Structure 1
Amino acid sequence: MQLELGGKTALITGASQGIGEGIAKAFADEGVNLHLTARNIDNLERIKSEIEGISDVTVMLHPLDITQSGGCAELAEQVGDVDILVNNAGAIPSGNLFDIDEAAWRQGWELKVMGYINMCRLFYAKMKSKSEGVIINNIGNGGEVFDPEYIAGTTGNASLMAFTRALGGSSLKDGIRVMGVNPGPVKTERIITMLKKRALSLLGEESRYMELVESFPMGRPAHVDEVTSLIVFLASSRAGYSTGSIYTVDGGISSRRSIG
Structure 2
Amino acid sequence: MELGLKGRRVLVTGASQGIGAGLAQAFAGEGCDLFLVARSAERLQQVAGEARALGVNVRAMAVDLTTDRAIDEVARSAGDVDILVNNAGSIPGGTLWDVDRAAWRKGWDLKVFGYIDLTRAIYPVMKQRGSGVILNNIGNGGQNFDFNYIAGTTGNAALMAFTCALGGRSLEDGIRVVGINPGPVDTDRIRKVMCGRAEKLFGEAERYDELIARYPLGRPASVAEVANLFVYLASDLSRYTTGTIVTVDGGIASKRSV
TM-score range, shorter chain: over 0.9
Q: Work out the CA distance in 2 between the residues paired with 1:101 and 1:134.
A: 35
Does 2:238 align with 1:239? Answer: yes
Give the match for residue 160 of structure 2: 161
- Rounded to whole Å, the distance in 2 between the matches of 1:206 and 1:98 is 23
The sequence identity of aligned pairs, in percent, is 57
State the alpha-carbon separation in 1 of the partners of residues 122 and 232 from structure 2: 20
Q: Please list, as runs of the form range in 1=range in 2, the aligned pairs for 1:11-26 lying within 5 A after superposition.
A: 11-26=11-26
Q: Residues 127-206 of structure 1: matches in 2 within 5 Å?
A: 127-206=126-205
AA at the equivalent of 2:198: A
Q: Distance in 1 between matches of 2:146 and 2:198?
A: 15
Gaps of 5+ in 1: none
- Shift of residue 202, structure 1, vs aligned partner: 2.3
Query: What amino acid sits opposite 1:31 in the alignment?
Result: G
> Which amino acid is the alignment partner of residue 145 of structure 1?
N
**1:257 maps to which residue?**
256
1:33 maps to what in 2? 33
TM-score normalized with structure 1 length: 0.98
- Give CA-to-partner distance per residue, 1:148-180, whole Å, 9 cap, x none: 111110000000000000000010000000000
Q: Structure 1 segments of 4 or more deviating over 3 A?
A: none
Cα separation, 2, equivalents of 1:57 and 1:91: 28
- TM-superposition CA deviations, 1:124-163 (whole Å, max 9, x none): 1110011100000000001011111111100000000000
The 3-state SS of whatever aligns with 1:163 is helix
SS in 2 for 1:201: helix
**Residues 186-234 of structure 1: CA distance to partner in whole angstroms, max 9, x if unpaired?**
0000000111111222222212111111110000000111101110000
The TM-score normalised by the length of structure 2 is: 0.98
CA distance in 2, matches of 1:48, 1:256: 38
Residue of structure 2 in register with 1:121 after alignment = 120
Distance 1:61 1:70 in 2: 18
Aligned residues: 258
Distance, in Å, in 1 between the alignment partners of 2:245 and 2:5 is 22
Instruction: Tell me which residue corresponds to 1:2.
Output: 2
**RMSD (CA atoms):** 0.8
Q: Which amino acid in structure 1 is aligned with residue 2 of structure 2?
A: Q
Q: Tell me, which stretches of 5 or more residues in structure 2 are unaligned?
A: none
Deviations 1:61-86 (A, max 9, x none): 11101101111011111111100000
The question of 1:104 aligning with 2:103 is answered yes
